[in-house]
Structure 1
Amino acid sequence: MKITLVKKILADGSPCAKCRDVQQKLEEQDLLRFIDQTLIADVRDEQSEGMQIARQYSVERAPFFLVEEDGRPPQIYTVYFKLVKEVLQKIAVA
């Protein structure tokens, strides 16, 4: 399983507030260790990796998580608590 976190950088160059909050929650709950990759969706650069992934999966909210498992289509999570409940809690106890 591969989990990618996509965070947004706003037009003024600052990180989005919700992205900061989610990052902090991941750190506080010791769940950041399960995130394999973090990409930045920089609204000032349409070619940034995060913007490309957002377009590819038609995601307009940030932050979001892309969960990839062998043999299954990628899952997109735009709600942090849903990701924790459906994915992170299960791998944390495994």
Structure 2
Amino acid sequence: MKIIMVKKIMADGSPCKKCSEVLERLETSGHIEKIDQVLIAREGEVGSEGALLADYYQVDKAPFFVVEEEGLEPRIYTIYFKLVKEVLNRQAA
């Protein structure tokens, strides 16, 4: 399983508030170790890695997570607590 987090950086260079809050929750819970890759969607830069992924999956919220499992279609999570319940806690079990 591979988990990609896409977080947003605002045009002025500051991190998106919700992205910072989710990243802090991941770190305090220990779930950050289960995130394989963090991509940045830079506001106003449609060519940034995170923005390209958001466009590909047609996601307009940040942060979001792409969960890839062999043999399955990638799953997109825009709600952190749903990711924890359905993926991260399941991994720990």
TM-score (norm 2): 0.98
Question: What does 1:83-94 align with in structure 2 at a 5 Å threshold?
Answer: 83-93=83-93
Matches within 5 A, 1:46-65: 46-65=46-65
CA distance, structure 2, for counterparts of residue 30 and residue 9 of structure 1: 23
Note the residue ranges of structure 1 that are not aligned, 5 or more in a row. none
Distance in 1 of aligned mates of 2:92 and 2:55: 30
1:37 paired residue number = 37
Aligned mates of 1:31, 1:77 — CA distance in 2? 15
The amino acid of 2:28's aligned partner reads: E
Question: Matched residues in 2 for 1:15 and 1:46: separation?
Answer: 17
Q: Could you state the TM-score of these two structures normalised by the residue count of structure 1?
A: 0.97
- 2:78 corresponds in structure 1 to 78
Instruction: List, as ranges, runs of 4+ consecutive aligned residues in structure 1 with deviation greater than 6 Å.
Output: none
Question: Size of the alignment, in residue pairs?
Answer: 93
Specify the alignment match of 2:66 in structure 1.
66
Any idea what the Cα deviations from partners look like across 1:17-67, whole Å, max 9, x if unmatched? Answer: 000000000000000000000000001311000000000000000000000
**Identity over the aligned pairs, expressed in percent?**
56
- Separation in structure 2 between the aligned mates of residue 59 and residue 44 of structure 1, nearest angstrom: 15
